[in-house]
Structure 1
């Protein structure tokens, strides 16, 4: 009997340690909405480019700036939605949204993401557009994998998927746009739905 109680106590201590070292208030619904934003943004970008008079997805001048603005709006809405829904979830569960774990999560997520973003801006300035979609997917996937140890471990699987899609896009740059749509749009919706039904509807 004492041995059984001892094992139960150890299990409870382990659970508490995992909760204290991980940010577990991420909302699955925010992943779904991020995917929806990405699909809408991709549709807007596609319309802008195809109506520019060029038969190819080549970005230049005014259209280029509009597409960049479109991407920034998608990123802003996704981040704002994630912060809002995750904060609401944390308050509902009586958890802190900004603590040591969430700070580590943000730092580990931003390091590869910012480095990748700066590199992409550099090559865009050099008018090298072919690998942009692949690089976005790869660096975003690396950011997710890097941050997963401070959040729900399932996030790393989304990261692996994004990296794989990025590598495929690098092999077949002509399909980079559509692989971007799959990675940032469809995969976010699939992953967000999985996380929502696994964690949020408890």
Structure 2
């Protein structure tokens, strides 16, 4: 649930403000808000870098709740986020889940966010990502060109053509190959290019 809140904190800890200001806008951030304050028409929460350790994130949430004007503030929700690319952080997603995704984004950028959106949070991990990620390219055509070159098909076709005299009649149908890859592999378009995953 996005409320498009401008990243800032209304807690009384100045170090948290400075920390948030130092974080790049593309860093995976979550805005964690006190639910009792929200239900009473008050906005009380804090932007937190989701790449921090889980214990540190939970500690910051506890401090935020302790600083609430409502002495009974105990529950929280994620009311905004940024830096997760196309992945949509849920209001009640577990901190462990959000942290794991933030770590993946820290290491692999938008490609990891695209992967989590593709397979779901339960099946996503850095290990499974590494198993099926084939790279990010400007276009699918660029990937097909690289794939064909890596496979050595142009050289093989040339050799076969020389042996058989069929060279003028042999070629690679790049358009058909591109269509086949779209059917057999997962091709996800993003801000940074086209992310390729095997199934």
Name whichever structure is richer in strand by fraction.
Answer: 2
Name whichever structure is richer in helix by fraction.
Answer: 1
**Higher radius of gyration, 1 or 2:** 2
State whether TM-score is above 0.5.
no
TM-score, normalised to structure 1's length? 0.24
More RCO (CA 8 Å, sep 6+): 1
